Structure 1
Amino acid sequence: MITSNHGLSVGIERVNGELFVKLSVVGKLTHEDYEVFTPMLDSAIKEVPNTEVNVVVDLTHFEGWELRAAWDDFKLGLKHGRNFCKIAMIGSKTWQEAAAKVGSWFISGEMKTFATEAEAMAWISNNS
């Protein structure tokens, strides 16, 4: 029997009045994963007066989306794209840089890819 793990680990923090979201993505995401995650993000953004959100996404164990989950991800970007200030993606897959470029069409903030969490956190913490 082969075990297949997938899903999102979500950390939502407020640091000095700013919303900070840290995601760790494992396996192939499903529509059900987004049904859990999306209301959490919606609620966090709604509750913060300054809705500029910084996001760090660990994609080192990410294998992609099911079709419906990819659509969920696209809708999430359209809904909250104006709220994202910086999105740092951790991982070394070449498609991530292309995803960052495409994603930047739908969000108001910056997206960058990094090989390590330390590099991503340094960039996301830099307010300049």
Structure 2
Amino acid sequence: MLQVLDFTKNNVIATKAQENLTEADIQKIHPLIHNIVYHGQKVRWYFEMQDFTGWDMKGLWADLKMDLSHANDYEKIAMVGEKKWQDWITRFMKPFTNADIRYFDLEEKQKAKEWINQ
């Protein structure tokens, strides 16, 4: 499940992922990205993962397609998680985008919010 958080505004997309992400979850983000890009801005994405287990197959494919098609549209991505494999995801993403991507532990989520808004 992907929840859009209340501090989504301007060019910041804030989400919280729990359990498994599906294709429908990924589709929630497309209009937000397109709106930011349409207004000539770069996307800053705060992506919090709590009790996150990954993607189903269609969700993973939709996420990969979205990320690759918007690779140059991201400015910053804050990955906030609770598990070592989530840090690994952050490092895996770096070659596919010019965005500044950083991993923060859940205890550092306030720091991540401050960083994404700088």
**Fold shared per TM-score above 0.5:** yes
Equivalent positions of 1:54-73 (< 5 A) are 54-73=44-63
Q: 1:69 to 1:125 in 2, by over 3 A?
A: same
2:14 is the alignment partner of 1:22? yes
* Partner secondary structure for residue 97 of structure 1: helix
Which residue is 2:9 aligned to? 13
Give the number of the structure whose residues are more often helix, by fraction: 2
Counting aligned pairs with the same residue, the percent is: 25
Gaps of 5+ in 2: none
TM value normalised by structure 2: 0.85
Equivalent positions of 1:69-84 (< 5 A) are 69-84=59-74
The answer to whether the 8 Å contact 1:82/1:108 transfers is yes
Q: 1:85 aligns with which of 61, 68, 75?
A: 75
The 2-side partners of 1:67 and 1:46 are apart by 27
Which residue is 1:43 aligned to? 34
Larger CA Rg, structure 1 vs 2: 1
Runs of 4+ in structure 1 over 6 Å off: none
Amino acid in structure 2 at the alignment position of 1:78? L
Which residue is 2:24 aligned to? 32
The answer to whether the 8 Å contact 1:8/1:26 transfers is yes
Amino acid in structure 2 at the alignment position of 1:70? L
The answer to whether the 8 Å contact 1:29/1:69 transfers is yes
Amino acid in structure 2 at the alignment position of 1:25? A
Which residue is 2:103 aligned to? 113
The 2-side partners of 1:69 and 1:48 are apart by 27
The 2-side partners of 1:47 and 1:82 are apart by 13
The Cα offsets for residues 55-102 of structure 1, whole Å up to 9 and x where unpaired, read as: 111102211100111111111110111111110011121011211111
Q: 1:21 to 1:42 in 2, by over 3 A?
A: closer
Gaps of 5+ in 1: 1-6
The 2-side partners of 1:99 and 1:44 are apart by 26
